[in-house]
Amino acid sequence: MTNNDTLRRLRYALKINDAAVADLIAKTGRAIKEEEVINWLKREDEPGFTKLKDADLCRFLDGLIIEKRGPHPSGKAPEPVEFLSNNEVLKKLRIALELKEDGVLAVFKKAEFEVTKAELGSFFRKDGHRNYRKVPEQVLRKFIHGLSV
């Protein structure tokens, strides 16, 4: 799943429009025009399609956190990461939506997808931890689907 697909699915699941996506990104300090968002949301074979960079998807997710939970006490937006893994996307969504373990499992249940507590815990471990596990694309896709149900 590409970053563009992830943004498309999140936009649908969270029921937000193009202008709201631009506003969320702007909360992180990057001025963006709605036309740029529209080009990210186009299909790859459509004219004007622009590939969404990891840093911009990270800014969107950080903007969502700021919108839902408020700004960081320091008042600064976090710097976007250069490489955004599925684990980071899932982690940022969990933070933005203020979900605990049971809440995340409930979202997966809405999508009719089985995830154990142990498996879920392994997704939120640091890379390099012996119990760390990468989030497969299907898991992220099902989580986003669960948000929209």
pLDDT recorded at residue 77: 84
Type of residue numbered 102: D
- Check residue 19 and give its pLDDT: 96
Long-range contacts of 6-12, Cβ-Cβ distance < 8 Å, separation of 24 or more:
6/57, 6/89, 6/140, 6/144, 7/40, 7/41, 7/52, 7/57, 7/60, 8/41, 9/141, 9/144, 9/145, 9/148, 10/60, 10/93, 10/144, 10/147, 11/41, 12/148
Residue 122 near residue 131, CB atoms below 8 Å: yes
Q: What is the pLDDT of residues 39-79, one digit of tens each?
A: 999 999 999 999 999 999 999 999 999 999 999 888 888 89
Tokens of 127: 């890379």
How far from 121 is each of 102, 106, 115, 130, 135, CA to CA, in Å? 11, 15, 10, 12, 11
Domain-wise residue ranges, the chain: 3-69, 86-148
pLDDT of res. 30: 93
92's tokens: 């940022």
Q: Which two tokens stand for residue 100?
A: 């605990």
Residue 135 one-letter amino acid: V
Residue position matching structure tokens 């506003």: 23
What are the pLDDT digits (tens) for 72-122? Answer: 888 888 899 999 999 999 999 999 999 999 999 999 999 999 999 999 999
Please tell me the distance from the alpha carbon of residue 35 to that of residue 32, in angstroms, as a whole number: 8
Among 8-12, 13-17, 77-81, 82-86, which is the least confidently predicted range?
A: 77-81
